Amino acid sequence: MPSLRDIRNRIGSVRSTRQITKAMKMVSAAKLRRAQDAVLKTRPYAILLDQTLSRLAARAAAEEQVAHPLLAPRDQRTAEVVVVTSDRGLAGGFNSNICRFVQRFLTENGDRFERIALSTVGKKGREYFKARKLDIRKDYTGIHANLAYEKAEALAREATERYLAGEVDTVFLAYNEFKSAISQKPVVVQLLPIDTSAAAADTAGIDFRYEPSREALLAELLPRHVAMQVWRALLESAASEHGARMSAMESATKNAEEMIASLSLQYNRARQAYVTKELMEIVGGAEALK
């Protein structure tokens, strides 16, 4: 049976842990509000840009024109999956869920492509796949430290250049889509080539007037569209991370409070037993002196 001092030390340790988890929960809640606002502001623009460009591209495809190389179909022999995770842990299943989801995606599509490369955004993804002996083509570091659109644009530019150079035939983007503070959904979306199949049915009988031309318009907007999709994925992942960490720290705080209550009860029982034992010894000693 542990001594009173051991129980007191353990209660003090759990209280310190509770203070840390409670503080981390409050920090994550504050960051979540900002990240959620950024996602809600970016999501409508990204969706509408995607729909508009899809209609333009689908109209060009219907006329059997290849308006831009990012829309040109090709044999999909090689692929690359860019996995977005976090740099820090203590976020529940945030990182493990997306990593396992990607690993399952690689297994299910192993026969579809001759080669699938991996790139990671975030230390946790890099550590996960390295521990499983999977080759990582590139690890994008320093993106989460100061999240900015310019970093997303640079990542999208590199992916686009590799695609146009023929180094890869398909680029996928894997991240946690933000649903709510307690819900995040792992998704894998096709970044390149730009998929216009969803808008093909909406283009019948519809055309636009282009200024200066359809080709010039797509040449300007398509790279911006790719960068916006990467930027949206980074914002979705950041909001999901803060939501997952807030929920995890809230659960940890509740568990600490329950443990403190249990240890306090154990301490009081041990103290009562110790006092009872002392009284019995005093009574027994007094009886022996009679």
Write down the pLDDT at residue 90: 86
Q: Read off the pLDDT of residues 235-252 as tens digits, 9 standing for 90 and up.
A: 999 999 999 999 889 989
Instruction: Please tell me the total count of domains within the chain.
Output: 2
Higher per-residue pLDDT: 47 or 129: 129
**Judgement on whether residues 40 and 165 belong to the same structural domain of the protein:** yes
**Judgement on whether residues 159 and 281 belong to the same structural domain of the protein:** no
**Judgement on whether residues 53 and 69 belong to the same structural domain of the protein:** yes
180 pLDDT above the threshold of 70: yes
For 13, 106, 235, 259, 261, the CA distances from 264, given in Å and listed in that order, are 13, 50, 43, 8, 5
Last residue of a domain, one of 233, 248, 263: 248
- Written as six digits, the tokens of 240 are 């999901």
CATH number for 106: 3.40.1380.10
**Judgement on whether residues 9 and 29 belong to the same structural domain of the protein:** no
Asked whether the whole model's pTM tops 0.95, one would answer no
184 pLDDT above the threshold of 80: yes
**Judgement on whether residues 258 and 192 belong to the same structural domain of the protein:** no
Write down the pLDDT at residue 266: 85
Domain that holds residue 15: 4-20+252-289
Write down the pLDDT at residue 129: 92
**Judgement on whether residues 36 and 137 belong to the same structural domain of the protein:** yes
Write down the pLDDT at residue 110: 81
**Judgement on whether residues 186 and 285 belong to the same structural domain of the protein:** no
**Judgement on whether residues 196 and 284 belong to the same structural domain of the protein:** no
**Judgement on whether residues 83 and 169 belong to the same structural domain of the protein:** yes
Q: Read off the pLDDT of residues 61-99 as tens digits, 9 standing for 90 and up.
A: 555 455 677 777 778 889 999 999 998 888 888 999 999
Write down the pLDDT at residue 100: 93
**Judgement on whether residues 136 and 183 belong to the same structural domain of the protein:** yes
**Judgement on whether residues 114 and 164 belong to the same structural domain of the protein:** yes
**Judgement on whether residues 153 and 211 belong to the same structural domain of the protein:** yes
Q: Which of 126-130, 196-200, 215-219 has the lowest mean pLDDT?
A: 196-200
